[in-house]
Amino acid sequence: MPERLRVLRTVPAFRRSIMAWRAGHANVALVPTMGALHAGHLALVRAAERRAQRTIVSIFVNPAQFAPEEDLARYPRTFDADVAVLRELGVDLVWAPPVEVMYPPGFSTKVVPSGPALVGLEDRLRPHFFSGVATVVAKLLIQCAPDFAMFGEKDYQQLKVVSRMAADLNLPTRIIAVPTVREKDGLALSSRNAYLSAEERAVASTLYRVLKACAERIANGELIARVIDEGGNAIENAGFMLDYLEARHADSLQPVASLDEGPVRLLVAARLGKTRLIDNLGA
Ligand code: PAF
């Protein structure tokens, strides 16, 4: 009989569970989420289950990564449905701390990342974001010291920031990158896709199509600057407000002008109506 999925909400109870697993020599993987789980998250869970004997999914909508003008209250919350899916998948533990457990009164410590967190991509448009992410991810990794923590490539800059932070702070966790899961038409799965109207959904996959076309042209030796310029126009012509379309070094996220400068990653962010979408692809 498999053990029942446990939902824990206090740090001491969480730590006791993990210590019991460790005493039995089990290794542990963590999948950090903000809930509203979709197939992209489930791919992270399956990747965690392949690597570790015990899998934890954290569900915490992190106020520290939302700016005042970004609507924290509007973020989709589907806790009961999330737990039901995770139970089906055989997850061992859901870590769902209330805000006052994660950020108790008087909380005054922040992790402020630089390096890949300060390269003029998401950080230019959402300056508060990576400090909020780094702080909560550092806390999650310290709370449970997992052997592995799974992050989707969909949030590519986040993946790089978290990997850098875990290395810099000597956290004993291997950060594992999991490839983006896409709809049939190429749209990257995201909790924010739920905000798209039917008309917006019909054009949303333009982002992926443009990324793919740009990646092919760059691989065929065309000039990166021209390809990016034309790709940006194609995205705007489809009805998006473009925040950025950029070719960057796949590790440092610094700008690159040619494939000779290292592995290249194309990164895009654009708004369709009220919904902001991001995506990326290797070139
Ligand atoms: O990618 C997310 O869902 C969040 O940024 C994360 C990593 C769970 C931190 O709140």
* Cα angle, residue 195 at apex, residues 193 and 200 outer, rounded to 5°: 75
Packed helices 11-23 and 129-144: angle between N→C axes, nearest 10 degrees: 50
Give the residue numbers marked as catalytic.
41
Residue 186 belongs to some domain of the structure: no
The pLDDT, as a whole number, for residue 191 is: 87
In this structure, the answer to whether residues 222 and 160 fall within a common structural domain is no
Residue 155 in contact with ligand 1 by CB distance below 6 A: yes
> Which amino acid makes up residue 121?
L
Q: Which of 178, 206, 225 is the C-terminal boundary of a domain?
A: 178
- Quote the pLDDT of residue 4: 84
| 185, part of any domain | no
For atom 5 of ligand 1, the residue with the nearest CA is 133
| Pocket of ligand 1 contains residue 280 by CB under 6 Å | no
Is the domain of 106 the same as that of 198?
Answer: no
Domain that holds residue 105: 6-178
Judge whether 1 lies within some domain.
no
Q: Are 103 and 89 in contact (CB under 8 A)?
A: no
Cα 21 to Cα 74, 76, 87, 92: the distances in Å are 37, 32, 18, 11
User: b or e along 127-158 (b: 16 or more beta carbons within 10 Å of the residue's beta carbon)?
Assistant: eebbbbbbbbbbbbbebbebbbbbbbbbbbbb
Q: What is the pLDDT along the chain (283 residues), one digit of tens a residue?
A: 456 899 999 999 999 999 999 999 999 999 999 999 999 999 999 999 999 999 999 999 999 999 988 879 988 899 999 999 999 999 999 999 999 999 999 999 999 999 999 999 999 999 999 999 999 999 999 999 999 999 999 999 999 999 999 999 999 999 999 999 999 999 999 988 989 999 999 999 999 999 999 999 999 999 999 999 999 999 999 999 999 999 999 999 999 999 999 899 999 999 999 999 999 999 9
**What is the CATH classification number for the domain harbouring 90?**
3.40.50.620
Sign of the Cα pseudo-torsion (272, 150, 143, 80, in order):
positive
Query: Within this chain, do residues 57 and 174 fall inside the same structural domain, yes or no?
Result: yes
How confident is the model at residue 75, as a pLDDT? Answer: 87
231 touches ligand 1 (CB under 6 Å): no
The pTM (predicted TM-score) of the whole model is: 0.96
**Nearest residue by C-alpha to atom 6 in ligand 1:** 33
Boundary-marking domain end, from 144, 178, 212: 178
Q: Which of ligand 1's atoms lies nearest the C-alpha of 60?
A: 10
